[in-house]
């Protein structure tokens, strides 16, 4: 059970006012808010043991290294990876995807096929297009259906012996659709293809088990699950991480360096060149602890209640259309009202203290599918309330009256 008053007290930003109105923060799919424990972890790092990791013999460096590696183990346990060294700390989902795409450049040949879904964020489209340009591989797309789900029949027809990689998000950021990743992974594996799942939008709501999923790569960003920005993770199965060449050269990722020959460090350091976001990594671990203390089952059932309530109340507004109506979805509601431009609604809602996202949500192909410029997206988190949804509905009615 969620005690929402107690939880809200953990988030100092929720006490803010915007334009003289209490903040209603419904842009959680873009980034989540930060609880005090995570803020404290950041302050503690810079106040007490700020030092570079892995190479210092002095106390501060050892303390920072221990805490950073502890965070890696927390992330390992959270995602149920077999080994801590299968967790690469990155700057976020985009960075994680690019590290894998760059590595596959040396493994693909002209005519190989890679499959993405029509529901992807641009960060899970553009790196693969760049990879195709480099290698001559061909990009195929799993189409979407009107209700915002994937056309799985089409997927089964697309995947074949030439398929080397399949990429799909676990949850769509634009619509909230939860994709059938188990089926996607199992089918791809029958043809020997590797699968990367973009968990950026799933991880705030679902606790993924990478071993049970038998997924090859799983990526996520800390800032979507109550952690800081600029840090994220790449899970890769050991066998794949060993096959891929390093992404960047530099300090930390080497074993020995001479001008004749350099040998690379083992996992995970092979993929972690340079000084990482040490504080961010540590605070990522704290955020994961915080989310687990709230409990992912509690989070999922509470957010589902908000989703059902918000959907029911929004649909009472004349001319309002929700995009992504599949029942398999997380607490994201993407909508438009009549012909009103989503941006105009967003501006008025902000004046009334309500933060929503408007636009294409970095998923232009979805907007093209629906033939719209964008949507208004309200995305809920476990610290939101039904009362806040009521405030949004009242504000939206005012906006519609002004703009009609």
Smaller CB distance to ligand PMP: residue 97 or 194?
Answer: 97
- What gap in Å lies between CA 178 and CA 38, rounded to an integer? 28
The secondary structure of 175-198 as a DSSP string is T-BBP-HHHHHHHHHHTT-EEEEE
- Decide if 133 contacts 108 (C-beta within 8 A): no
Give the sheet arrangement for strand 332-337, strand by strand.
Answer: 320-323, 332-337, 375-379, 357-359
- Binding status of residue 173 toward ligand PMP by CB under 6 A: yes
Residue 198 CB, nearest approach to ligand PMP (Å): 5
Instruction: Write down the catalytic residue from 132, 168, 226, 362.
Output: 362
- What gap in Å lies between CA 154 and CA 141, rounded to an integer? 9
* Element housing 236 (H / E): strand 232-236
Among 117, 221, 336, 358, binds ligand PMP (CB under 6 A): 221
Task: Please identify, among the stretches 197-205, 240-248, 275-283, 307-315, the one whose residues bind ligand PMP according to the rule CB under 6 A.
Answer: 197-205
Residue 212 CB, nearest approach to ligand PMP (Å): 21
Residue 132 annotated among the catalytic residues of the structure = no
Residue 366's DSSP bridge partners are none
- Decide if 174 contacts 364 (C-beta within 8 A): no
Residue 207 CB, nearest approach to ligand PMP (Å): 17
- Binding status of residue 187 toward ligand PMP by CB under 6 A: no
- What gap in Å lies between CA 395 and CA 317, rounded to an integer? 12
Among 135, 169, 177, 334, binds ligand PMP (CB under 6 A): 169
The owner of tokens 């040998």 is 263
- What gap in Å lies between CA 341 and CA 359, rounded to an integer? 9
- Decide if 165 contacts 142 (C-beta within 8 A): no
- Decide if 44 contacts 19 (C-beta within 8 A): no
| Shortest-Cβ-distance residue relative to ligand PMP | 173
Q: Show the site string, 122-161: x = touches ligand PMP by CB under 6 A, - = not.
A: -xx-------------------------------------
Residue 79 CB, nearest approach to ligand PMP (Å): 16
Residue 384 CB, nearest approach to ligand PMP (Å): 18
Count of residues that bind ligand PMP according to CB under 6 A: 13
- Binding status of residue 94 toward ligand PMP by CB under 6 A: yes
- Binding status of residue 384 toward ligand PMP by CB under 6 A: no
Binding site for ligand PMP (CB under 6 A): 92-94, 121, 123-124, 169, 173, 198, 200-201, 221, 362
Could you list the active site residues?
Answer: 362
């Amino acid at each position: 059970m969620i005690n929402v008053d107690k939880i809200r007290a953990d988030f100092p930003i929720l006490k803010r006012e915007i334009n003289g109105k209490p903040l209603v923060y419904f842009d959680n799919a873009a980034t989540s808010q930060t609880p005090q424990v995570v803020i404290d972890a950041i302050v503690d790092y810079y106040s007490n043991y700020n030092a570079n990791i892995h190479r210092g013999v002095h106390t501060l460096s050892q303390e920072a290294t221990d805490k950073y590696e502890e965070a890696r183990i927390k992330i390992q346990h959270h995602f149920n990876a077999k080994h801590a060294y299968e967790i690469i700390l990155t700057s976020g989902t985009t960075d994680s995807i690019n590290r894998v795409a760059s590595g596959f450049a040396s493994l693909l040949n002209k005519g190989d096929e890679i499959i993405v879904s029509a529901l992807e964020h641009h960060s899970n489209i553009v790196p693969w297009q760049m990879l195709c340009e480099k290698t001559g591989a061909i990009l195929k797309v799993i189409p979407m259906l009107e209700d915002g789900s994937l056309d799985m029949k089409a997927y089964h027809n697309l995947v074949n012996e030439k398929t080397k990689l399949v990429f799909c998000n676990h949850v769509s950021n634009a619509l909230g659709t939860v994709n059938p990743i188990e089926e996607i992974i199992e089918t791809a594996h029958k043809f020997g293809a590797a699968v990367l799942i973009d968990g950026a939008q799933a991880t705030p709501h679902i606790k993924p088990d990478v071993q049970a999923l038998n997924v090859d790569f799983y990526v996520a960003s800390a800032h979507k699950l109550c952690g800081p920005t600029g840090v994220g993770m790449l899970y890769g199965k050991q066998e794949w991480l060993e096959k891929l060449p390093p992404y960047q050269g530099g300090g930390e990722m080497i074993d020995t360096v001479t001008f004749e020959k350099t040998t690379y460090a083992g996992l995970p350091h092979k993929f972690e060149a340079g000084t990482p976001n040490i504080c961010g990594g540590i605070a990522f671990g704290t955020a994961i602890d915080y989310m687990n203390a709230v409990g992912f089952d509690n989070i999922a059932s509470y957010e589902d209640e908000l989703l059902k309530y918000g959907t029911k109340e929004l649909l009472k507004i004349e001319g309002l259309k929700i995009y992504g109506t599949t029942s398999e979805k997380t607490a994201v509601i993407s909508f438009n009202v009549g012909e009103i431009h989503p941006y105009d609604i967003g501006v008025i809602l902000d004046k009334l203290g309500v933060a929503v996202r408007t636009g294409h949500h970095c998923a232009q192909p979805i907007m093209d599918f629906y033939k719209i410029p964008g949507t208004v997206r309200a995305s809920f988190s476990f610290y939101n309330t039904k009362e806040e949804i009521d405030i949004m509905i009242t504000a939206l009615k005012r906006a519609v009256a002004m703009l009609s």
